[in-house]
């Protein structure tokens, strides 16, 4: 009996030792997990810092060769000519024009689609229409680019005889079509999050569905709707393949949307195509344009945060 008791005590002590070792191991793992997660979270921050440092350092080198004022006030961009000129205004004009055209297409259609899905569509219809609409977001942008160049532009030339083969109007319209799912989905989510009690209170006062949508749902969801618009603009500003294929590479500073214009992203693609030697002024202009695009997009995001916060406080 004593031998059996000793074996039982030994096995109990062994189990206790194993539990203690397991607790120590789990404690070490628990202490390491926050460190590991912090490193993962810091990765995106470090990447952003690296991007900003690269842009700033190369842009600084560019402005050692080209005056700052000439770059931001010049209306002529001829980087590969015998007498090169580096004015960024033609690229800014192309970027702003294409983005405005895109938003003129995407904003009303996307908002109307969101209103229909949120307030008028039945659950069965919503389950079919919303995924079908979001399929547009999965189409590669190069497909949109060729669609703009081979279908939309010839179609528009039937109605606008003076439209050039490469122009800013066609890619702007197609970019708007591409952005519609983003605005529709985000706006619909914002409208769906409005409490049902607010709708029922308005209905109880005798309001129609249109009045409830216009006077209750949209004001309550305005911060989300504005955020979707600003994200759509940022998406249009950063679009590359559509404008590269369909808008051409002519660096025009013009308000004529029927002419070929180049955006900042399309210029970056052109410079990285191999025509600019490393260390040349044309090469460094790539980073100056990229920094301008970065600051432009950053300001848009800050504006979106400010506007969304303002509307959220008001409503």
What does the pLDDT average to over 177-195?
87
pLDDT digits (tens, 9 = 90+) for 15-58: 666 666 656 667 677 777 888 888 888 888 888 888 888 888 88
Name the band, by pLDDT with cuts 50, 70 and 90, for residue 103: very high
Among 11, 44, 65, the domain boundary falls at 65
Same domain, yes or no: 150 and 218: yes
pLDDT digits (tens, 9 = 90+) for 187-204: 888 888 888 888 878 788
pLDDT at 23 (0 to 100): 62
Helix (H, G, I), strand (E, B) or coil at 139: coil
Among 40, 65, 90, the domain boundary falls at 65
What range does the domain containing 180 cover?
77-310
What does the pLDDT average to over 203-216?
81
User: How many structural domains compose the chain?
Assistant: 2
191 closest CA partner among 93, 144, 121:
121
Q: Is 72 a domain residue?
A: no
Among 33, 65, 97, the domain boundary falls at 65
Q: Is 100 a domain residue?
A: yes
Q: Is 292 a domain residue?
A: yes
Q: Is 221 a domain residue?
A: yes
Q: pTM (2 decimals)?
A: 0.81
- For residues 93 and 247, give the distance between their C-alpha atoms in angstroms, rounded to a whole number: 13
pLDDT digits (tens, 9 = 90+) for 114-126: 988 888 888 888 8
Contact 170, 152 (CB under 8 A): yes
Same domain, yes or no: 184 and 54: no
Same domain, yes or no: 46 and 124: no
Contact 79, 288 (CB under 8 A): no
Question: CA angle, 17 as apex, 14 and 20 as ends, to 5°?
Answer: 150
Contact 194, 266 (CB under 8 A): no
Show the tokens assigned to 283.
Answer: 């090469």
Q: Kindly state the DSSP code that residue 77 receives in the 8-state scheme.
A: E
């Amino acid at each position: 009996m004593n031998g059996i008791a000793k074996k039982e005590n030994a096995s109990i002590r062994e189990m206790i030792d194993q539990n203690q070792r397991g607790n120590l191991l789990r404690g070490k793992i628990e202490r390491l997990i926050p460190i590991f997660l912090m490193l993962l979270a810091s990765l995106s921050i470090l990447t952003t810092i690296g991007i900003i440092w690269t842009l700033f350092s190369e842009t600084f080198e560019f402005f050692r060769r080209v005056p700052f004022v000439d770059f931001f006030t010049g209306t002529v961009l001829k980087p590969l000519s015998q007498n090169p000129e580096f004015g960024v205004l033609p690229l800014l004009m192309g970027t702003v024009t294409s983005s405005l055209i895109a938003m003129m297409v995407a904003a009303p259609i996307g908002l109307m689609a969101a209103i229909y899905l949120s307030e008028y569509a039945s659950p069965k219809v919503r389950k079919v229409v919303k995924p079908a609409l979001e399929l547009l977001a999965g189409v590669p942008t190069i497909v949109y680019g060729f669609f703009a160049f081979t279908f939309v532009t010839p179609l528009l030339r039937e109605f606008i005889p003076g439209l050039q083969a490469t122009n800013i109007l066609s890619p702007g319209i197609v970019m708007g079509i591409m952005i519609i799912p983003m605005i529709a989905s985000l706006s619909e989510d914002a409208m769906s999050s409005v409490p049902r009690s607010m709708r029922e209170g308005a209905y109880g006062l005798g309001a129609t569905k249109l009045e409830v949508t216009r006077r209750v749902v949209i004001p309550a969801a305005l911060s989300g709707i504005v955020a979707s618009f600003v994200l759509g603009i940022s998406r249009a500003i950063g679009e590359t393949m559509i404008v590269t294929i369909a808008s051409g590479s002519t660096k025009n500073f013009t308000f004529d949307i029927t002419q070929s214009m180049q955006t900042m992203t399309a210029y970056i693609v052109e410079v990285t195509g191999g025509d600019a030697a490393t260390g040349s002024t044309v090469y460094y202009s790539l980073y100056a344009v990229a920094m301008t695009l970065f600051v432009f997009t950053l300001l848009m995001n800050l504006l979106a945060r400010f506007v969304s916060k303002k509307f959220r406080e008001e409503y």
